[in-house]
Structure 1
């Protein structure tokens, strides 16, 4: 959702709440490993989509065309930044993977129309409308 002021207010609030939750962890180095691993893995996966889409769907409109050297270098760096901690501290890396994987059941139960629970559909829709009203947000228009 995007605010009428063209800012992602709901996303910023969600990140702020997660940041407050992270403050409850007593070992700051473990937290850095958990979040750092999850962040690099997520962003690396997003950057990996650039060459994949360039190859699989070459006719898509691209307002900005990036030389593939940059994503390739970024992906190599991401693999190194993700692989080294995975070997050095596999337990913390596993927790980082679990942090990412917790999104799958949440998505399937609350958001995916085919699998979400019927009773929760009204709650999630109502919550979405409430957040939209409180933050003056709307869903972005798709082309």
Structure 2
């Protein structure tokens, strides 16, 4: 039984690594992440830089020796992120009632999910405030990324420097821009 649990865990981690890297790829296509993350590998047609970036982040998480603290950090950040995304459903229903909705969901389910998210995120604030604070810190690392890559107009020297890094990484990873986003 432990062997099958290990196989299942490995498969789940593999799936999360590959799907999460696609989120970085999609964010980069929207201009919310560095341009190198929009590149695809020439032979395999996969977003190699995004996969490697996700793998690098995973290795950073492995630096923690306390698995329970790591679960608290990532769990809190995940619940906050998903809870805020689900909170958009009733918000958009209220603020934009005429918006076309390809998927219609009864408001009962998002509201139940939001209540559960509030409970799941408030309880750790009292039970494990240090881990919760670190989870908030992890989420807050997105603020400088947003400011640097999206909000602020970069000086020409910074843009040239970033372009040279992109060119170097393109050559090292043998990646290029897809002709259209639908190529993947």
Q: Same fold (TM over 0.5)?
A: yes
- Tell me, in whole angstroms, the C-alpha distance in 2 between the residues paired with 1:63 and 1:47: 16
Cα RMSD over matched residues?
3.0
1:59-78 equivalences in 2 (<5 Å): 59-78=98-117
Gaps of 5+ in 1: none
Alignment partner, residue 122 of structure 1: 160
Shift in CA distance, 53/91, structure 1 to aligned 2, threshold 3 Å: same
**Over residues 66-86 of structure 1, what are the superposed CA-to-partner deviations in whole Å (9 max), with x where a residue is unaligned?**
111111111111111101111
Q: Return the alpha-carbon distance in structure 2 between the equivalents of residues 7 and 74 of structure 1.
A: 34
1:42 aligns with 2:66: no
Which structure shows the bigger proportion of residues in helix conformation? 2
Deviations 1:31-80 (A, max 9, x none): 11001000100110111011101110112111111111111111111111
Figure out how many residues of one structure are paired with residues of the other and give that number: 139
**Whole-angstrom CA distance in 1 between matches of 2:74 and 2:160:** 32
TM-score (ref. length: structure 2): 0.63
- Which 5+ residue runs of structure 2 have no aligned equivalent? 1-24, 27-39
- Structure number with larger C-alpha Rg: 2
Q: Which has the higher contact order (CA 8 A, sep 6+)?
A: 1
